[in-house]
Amino acid sequence: MTVVSAPAKVLLTGVNGFIAVWILQDLLEQGYSVRGTVRSAPKGEFLKHKYAKYGDKLEIVVVDDITASGAFDESVKGVDAILHTAAPVTFSGDYDSVIKPAVESTKSILNSALAHGSSIKRVILTSSVVTLLEPHDPGYTYSDKDWNEYAVNEVKTKGDKAPGYLVYFAAKTLAEQEAWKWYGQHKREIRWDMATILPPYVFGPLVHEVNGKPRSFLYMNLQQEKPRSELGAHAGAWIDVRNVALAHVRSLQVPEAAEERLIISAGGFSWQDVYDAVASVKPEIEGIPRGVPGIERAVISQPHPSKATKLLGIEYVALAESARDTILSVRDLSA
C-alpha cells in the first residue's frame, strides 16, 4: 500500500496560502523536499527567505494560471506526491469567476499528473466540509457519504442571483465531485491513489506573508460582539490550521488514507463558546467581547471526523489555544 515518506519530493500548490505555509513548514521539518507553486515570482520570495536554512529542499515555481490545460505539466515531473491546496476562495462572484476556476484547476492538475507524473504515488486534494452541508434537521451528523447537492441545484436554478456563499459551496462541491469522477474514469491508467481532505472553518496563527491588514475569519468576527440572539446559535465547525497541516502530511504517510474523503474537525462552535474560551486564557486578552456566559446553546448538526481522526492520529488543538494564538498573531502582524 502507498506510503510517501521523507525524503520524498512533494508538489504543494498554492504554497504561499494560509494553510499551505503551515503544510510547507511541517513537510520541511520532517525532511521532505517541496516544490511549491505560486502565481507570480514575488509571491515566492518571502518563503525562500523564511525557509532559507532548508536550501534546495524548497523549490518555488510559477504557475500563473492554474486553470489552464497543461498548467502543471512541468511541475508534476519528478515528484512523489501532490498536495493540491490552490483554489479560488471567495464568497462573491458567479459561475465563471468562482465555480469554473475551481473545477478547471482540479482537472488541470489531475490531467498533468496522468500525462507527466510517472513517479507520483499519491495525490491529496484540499476540499471542504461545505461539500457535505446538504440541509438537514438540527442534530444531523454529516459523513463522508454526504454531498451538498442543495448548493449545486440552487446555483444552477438561480444563477447570478444565488447567494455568494452558495456559489462558493457549489464550487467546492463540484470540484471535488469532478476529482472523484476523474479518478474513477482513469484509475486503470494511473499508478497513484487519491484522497481528499475536508476541513471546516480554519482558525489559528498566521505564518504566511501578509501585505496590508492581516485577514482572519476568527479575528474579524471578534471585533464586535454578536447580538444576543446569535450568541448560542450554531456558527459552524472549526479546526486549527496546525491540525489541518498535520492532516495533509499524515495523509501521505498512512496507507489507509487512500480513496478516502477525510473529514477533519475539532467540533462545532457558537460565538459564546469562543468568547468563553478566550476569557479562560491567562494572561487575559483584552478587547474581546464576553457575551453572555451560560447562555443556552442550540442543537447542532456537524461533520463527523472520527474516521480521519483515527486514521491520521490527530489530537486537536483546543479552542482556547487556537483562539488565543490567532488573536495574538493578527495583533502582532498589525502592530
Q: What residues in the chain have per-residue pLDDT under 50?
A: none
- What pTM does this model have? 0.96
Tell me the torsion sign for CA atoms 35, 131, 164, 98.
positive
Between CA 63 and CA 119 the distance in angstroms is: 20
Between CA 229 and CA 66 the distance in angstroms is: 42
Output the domain CATH number for residue 54.
3.40.50.720
What is the grid cell recorded at 53?
A: 536554512
Establish if 223 belongs to a structural domain.
no
Establish if 277 belongs to a structural domain.
no
Establish if 81 belongs to a structural domain.
yes
CA angle in degrees (0–180, nearest 5) for 4-5-10: 65
Establish if 214 belongs to a structural domain.
no
| Contact between 244 and 264 (Cβ < 8 Å) | yes
Number of domain units in the chain: 1
Strands 236-240, 81-84: pairing kind: unpaired
Quote the pLDDT of residue 97.
72
| Residue range(s) defining the domain that contains residue 77 | 9-203+239-265+304-314
29-38 exposure pattern, b = at least 16 Cβ within 10 A, e = fewer? eeebbbbbbb
| Contact between 243 and 308 (Cβ < 8 Å) | no
Quote the pLDDT of residue 299.
87
Quote the pLDDT of residue 196.
98
Quote the pLDDT of residue 212.
84
Establish if 291 belongs to a structural domain.
no
What is the grid cell recorded at 179?
A: 476529482
| Spatial CA neighbour of 73 closest among 114, 45, 131, 38 | 114
Establish if 272 belongs to a structural domain.
no
| Spatial CA neighbour of 307 closest among 250, 260, 245, 252 | 260
Quote the pLDDT of residue 90.
57
Establish if 53 belongs to a structural domain.
yes
Establish if 38 belongs to a structural domain.
yes
Strand stretches in 14-140, DSSP E: 33-38, 58-62, 81-84, 122-126
